[in-house]
């Protein structure tokens, strides 16, 4: 099995880029499932089922490209406010999906990571999510982080509570509370910050997603809805990212 660097080299060469121009961690706000369905006079849930198929294909492309981490914004805490029948259908879809993807995850050596609050999800979703996390825990390939029942502010609250409890228990000193400490206590503590954040369906909002982690991520917004997002769409986003000059707040000597 090829390493991340070997796959990145092949992908970069094919796209006319250098390895240094390739993102290592992609984050995607998958938007437009409902609009895709409504445009075709279909129930919104049809768009979500089509979107689930897109998740599978894009995740496979990321594995093939040599992407080290892929984070997908699947269901936010705010999404519970949607119509009850749509939420129930989504939870049923998650239950099915978390079982269906196990074979593909194991075949591709992908580790599934959950971002969000497990508590609050229906019991069948909790059960299948926990089992898929267990099965893939030892996998050493791409990390696939699924933001499910997730909110960026809730993540910071939960991280702060963990830090406060450790300080109270005496296992964490006051002078040990720094940026690295906060990052370590977030849901996906082992994940690096995203290099590139993609949002589909032409929405220009962050929507409470990875508020801490995207401080220096590059943004890419496309009019394409998530069900129509394909390999070529992903390649276009990567090529756009490659053009960016990532200074991380610094300015080269002599620059104006």
Which tens digit of pLDDT belongs to each residue from 131-166? 999 999 999 999 999 999 999 999 999 999 999 999
Nearest one of 213, 183, 200, 190 to 68, comparing CA atoms: 190
Q: What share of the chain is helix, strand, coil (3-state, %, to 5)?
A: 50, 15, 35
Q: Specify the pLDDT at position 27.
A: 98
Number of domains in the chain: 1
Q: Are 6 and 66 in contact (CB under 8 A)?
A: yes
Mean pLDDT of 240-252: 76
And the tokens for 46?
Answer: 């049809």
| Domain-embedded: residue 237 | yes
Domain with residue 57: its CATH number is 3.40.1180.10
And the tokens for 209?
Answer: 């997603």
| Domain-embedded: residue 176 | no
Q: Specify the pLDDT at position 2.
A: 87
Residue 84 to residues 19, 41, 68, 79, Cα–Cα distance (Å): 46, 20, 36, 10
Q: Specify the pLDDT at position 250.
A: 61
Point out the least confidently predicted range of 18-32, 46-60, 152-166, 242-256.
Answer: 242-256
- pLDDT band at 58; cut points 50, 70, 90: very high
Sheet strands side by side (includes 218-221): 111-115, 143-150, 69-76, 25-29, 196-199, 218-221
| Domain-embedded: residue 117 | yes
pTM: 0.94
pLDDT digits (tens, 9 = 90+) for 209-231: 999 999 999 999 999 999 999 99
Mean pLDDT of 183-189: 96
Mean pLDDT of 28-43: 97
Task: Confirm whether 175 is a catalytic residue.
Answer: no
pLDDT digits (tens, 9 = 90+) for 12-25: 999 999 999 999 99
Q: How far apart are CA 121 and CA 127, in angstroms?
A: 10
Q: Is the pLDDT of residue 248 over 80?
A: no
Q: Is the pLDDT of residue 256 over 60?
A: no
Q: Specify the pLDDT at position 59.
A: 98
Residue 48 to residues 38, 75, 181, 225, Cα–Cα distance (Å): 11, 11, 36, 11
Q: Is the pLDDT of residue 101 over 70?
A: yes
| Domain-embedded: residue 167 | no
Task: Confirm whether 79 is a catalytic residue.
Answer: yes
238 Cβ contact partners less than 8 Å away, ≥ 6 residues apart? 15, 17, 22, 23, 65, 196
Choose the catalytic residue: 5, 33, 64, 79: 79
| Domain-embedded: residue 247 | no
Q: Specify the pLDDT at position 142.
A: 98
Choose the catalytic residue: 5, 20, 31, 202: 31
| Domain-embedded: residue 253 | no
| Domain-embedded: residue 173 | no
Domain residue limits at 116: 4-153+193-242
- pLDDT band at 183; cut points 50, 70, 90: very high
Q: Is the pLDDT of residue 255 over 90?
A: no
How confident is the prediction for the chain on average, in pLDDT? 95
């Amino acid at each position: 099995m090829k390493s991340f660097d070997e796959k990145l080299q092949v992908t970069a060469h094919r796209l006319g880029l250098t390895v240094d121009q390739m993102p290592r961690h992609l984050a995607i706000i998958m938007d437009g499932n409902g609009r895709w369905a409504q445009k075709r006079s279909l129930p919104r849930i049809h768009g979500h089922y089509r979107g689930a198929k897109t998740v599978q294909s894009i995740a496979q492309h990321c594995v093939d490209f040599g992407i080290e981490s892929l984070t997908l914004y699947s269901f936010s805490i705010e999404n519970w406010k949607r119509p009850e029948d749509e939420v129930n259908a989504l939870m049923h879809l998650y239950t099915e999906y978390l079982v269906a993807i196990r074979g593909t995850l194991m075949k591709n050596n992908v580790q599934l990571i959950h971002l969000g609050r497990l508590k609050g999800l229906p019991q069948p979703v909790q059960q299948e999510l926990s089992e898929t996390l267990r099965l893939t825990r030892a996998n050493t390939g791409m990390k696939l982080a699924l933001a499910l029942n997730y909110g960026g502010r809730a993540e910071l609250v939960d991280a702060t509570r963990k830090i406060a409890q450790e300080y109270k228990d005496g296992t964490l000193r006051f002078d040990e509370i720094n940026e690295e400490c906060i990052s370590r206590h977030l849901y996906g503590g082992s994940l690096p910050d995203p290099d590139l954040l993609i949002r589909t369906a032409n929405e220009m909002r962050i929507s409470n997603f990875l508020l801490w982690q995207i401080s220096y991520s590059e943004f890419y917004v496309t009019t394409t809805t998530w069900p129509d997002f394909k390999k070529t769409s992903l390649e276009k986003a990567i090529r756009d990212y490659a053009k960016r000059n990532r200074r991380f707040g610094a300015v080269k000597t002599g620059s104006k």
